[in-house]
A and B are shown apart, each in its own frame.
Chain A
Amino acid sequence: MIATIITQLLGALAVASAMMVVLSKHPVRSVLYLVVTFFFISGLYIMMNAQFLAIVNIIVYAGAIMVLFLFVLMLLNLNKDAEPKTPTIIWIISTVAGGVLFLVLVAALKDIVLVSQKDDFAPISNIGLVENLGNTLFTKFVVPFEISSILFISAMVGAILLAKRDKPTID
């Protein structure tokens, strides 16, 4: 019973901090609220017995990607005047469109017929541990794993090429 309350509390806090990401005016605050959101989502992963993914989510998302965002924000040195203004008509249209999108998503997902109807959602299992995930990753999904390394190399080369100055200072 206490686990149910913790899960619902984590979900509500994740939604609240996600709203703060969108609504806060300052980009640095948005980044920090996004880090908080990732921590809550990691807590939900722990409640769902996906322990290794929770740790990876904190290390990679909250640790690496968000630090990259903060670093770029620091490089650009934006002040408060640089924050672009959104017209009111865009606010109204976006609110309506977002609400309609939520209704459509929930209505579509409500009608899915699940194969197994269980009440006990997360039984104690070891599928989220690193041993089981590593076995699956390096046997069944080894080809996508190698392709993802190629993706990383091309992203790295692309980032370096894009961020380089136009005129290299080579004599």
Chain B
Amino acid sequence: MGATVNIDFFVILSSLLFVIGAFGVMIRRNMIVLLMCIELMLNAVNLLFVSFSTYYGNADAQIFVFFIIVVAAAEATVGLSILILAYRHLRSIDVSIFNKLKG
């Protein structure tokens, strides 16, 4: 499937996906949606890795995508368990409530 798409298309597309994820982290207060936006940003980086891997014909970047998926899975697990713990204590998932650590 030789898609004759320029590399610029993928650079702009993954920048756009990354910015949408960052925008979501900025505007949303819900902690679960925040974690999902982080996953979206990681996927944008994965897309750029794969596109450059295809561009240069080198498989190393695709291995890096595996490691990013591993780190994303670990991060989601620990983040969601912290979220459940915080929800048990505070009965809310609003991130602005979690400033009680402020000294």
Contacts and interface: CB of A to CB of B under 8 A. Distances in A.
Nearest to B83: A72
Interface string A83-125: 1111000110111011101100110011000111011111111
A98 B29 contact: no
Interface of B: 1-13, 15-24, 26-30, 32-33, 35-37, 39-40, 43, 46-47, 50-51, 53-60, 62-63, 65-67, 69-78, 80-85, 87, 92-96
Contacts of B3: 3-4, 6-7, 47-48, 121-122
B54 A48 contact: yes
Residue of A75, A105, A132 ringed by the most chain B CB atoms within 10 A: A105
A72 B23 contact: no
B69 A127 contact: no
A167 interface: no
Interface of A: 1, 3-4, 6-8, 11, 14-15, 18-19, 21-22, 27, 30-31, 34, 37-38, 41, 44-50, 52-53, 56-57, 60-61, 64-65, 68-69, 72-73, 75-76, 78, 82-86, 90-91, 93-95, 97-99, 101-102, 105-106, 109-110, 114-116, 118-125, 127-128, 132-133, 136-137, 140-141, 144, 148, 151-152, 154-156, 158-160, 162-163
A159 B81 contact: yes
A50 B62 contact: yes
**3 interchain residue pairs of minimum CB distance:** A84-B29, A155-B74, A22-B24
State the main secondary structure of chain A at its contact with B.
helix
Contact of A133 (B1, B59, B69): B59
State the main secondary structure of chain B at its contact with A.
helix
Given A7-B9, A18-B17, A53-B62, A68 B40 contact: no
A133 B76 contact: no
Contacts, number: 250
A162 B36 contact: no
B17 A15 contact: yes
Contacts of A72: 32, 80, 83-84
A85 to B, nearest CB: 7
Contacts of A115: 56
B2 A60 contact: no
B37 A21 contact: yes
Nearest to B42: A61
B81 A30 contact: no
Given A106-B12, A140-B60, A49 B1 contact: yes
